């Protein structure tokens, strides 16, 4: 799993040297920013279900045709799966906030997503809409501190860019 520490250790190991001052400084920089992202991770974990529900509702409100016969959400089972996927994406963002890098999203969320959605003929636009709604809905200091919110939104943007 890619993170600042594992990147530093991999590079040091490839060169066969002990962790240098540069490596320790890199880890130190990561640690200094860690408080904000751990706060964001904690708040997101606490409100994961509510955030998922709001995001899914926003998406089905905007694209109400999705629930018509023959569309991606024409049965409750399919609608539930959409909410489940949104929950998965938000959980992966929680992991990214913990690790401090995009590793979890890349490895477990984005890799292969395009191919899966194409073969199931699912639109990615509604996912983008739901995540955009979450991004614009979150605000500081109501939900979390400004710095934590910044970290949270940067991962949401990363995912939105990957899906759009």
Partner 1 sequence: MLDAFSRSVVSADAKTAPVGGSDLAGLRSYVRDGNKRLDAVNAITSNASCIVSDAVTGMICENTGLIQAGGNCYPNRRMAACLRDGEIVLRYISYALLAGDASVLDDRCLNGLKETYIALGVPTQSAGRAVAIMKASATALIGETNSPASGGKRFRKMETTQGDCAALVAEAGAYFDRVVGAIS
- The residue ranges that bind partner 1 (CB under 8 A) are 1, 3, 5-6, 8-10, 12-13, 16-21, 23-24, 27-28, 31, 34-35, 38, 41-42, 44-46, 48, 88, 90-91, 94-95, 98-100, 103-104, 108
Q: How far is the CB of 70 from partner 1 (least distance, A)?
A: 31
Residues 14 and 103: their CA atoms lie apart, in Å, by 20
Residue 40 tokens, joined: 């964001």
**Residue 66 vs 100, nearer CB to partner 1:** 100
21-46 vs 48-62: helix axis angle to the nearest 10? 70
5 — phi, psi (to 5°)? -65, -45
**Residue 6 vs 164, nearer CB to partner 1:** 6
Q: How far is the CB of 99 from partner 1 (least distance, A)?
A: 5
H helix runs in 63-145, sequence order: 76-99, 103-104, 113-119, 125-137
Side-chain-facing half-sphere of 65: CA atoms under 13 Å: 3
**Residue 66 vs 148, nearer CB to partner 1:** 148
**Residue 38 vs 62, nearer CB to partner 1:** 38
């Amino acid at each position: 799993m890619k993170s600042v520490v594992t990147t530093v250790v991999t590079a040091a190991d490839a060169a066969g040297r002990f962790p240098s001052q540069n490596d320790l400084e890199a880890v130190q920089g990561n640690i200094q920013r860690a408080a904000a992202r751990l706060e964001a991770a904690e708040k997101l974990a606490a409100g994961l279900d509510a955030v998922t529900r709001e995001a899914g509702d926003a998406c089905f409100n905007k694209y109400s045709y999705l629930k018509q016969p023959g569309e991606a959400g024409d049965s409750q089972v399919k609608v539930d799966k959409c909410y489940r996927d949104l929950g998965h994406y938000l959980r992966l963002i929680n992991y990214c906030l913990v690790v401090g890098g995009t590793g979890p999203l890349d490895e477990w969320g984005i890799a292969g997503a395009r191919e899966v959605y194409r073969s199931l003929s699912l639109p990615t636009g509604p996912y983008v809409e739901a995540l955009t709604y979450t991004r614009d809905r979150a605000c500081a200091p109501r939900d979390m501190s400004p710095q934590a919110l910044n970290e949270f939104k940067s991962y949401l943007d990363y995912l939105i860019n990957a899906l759009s």
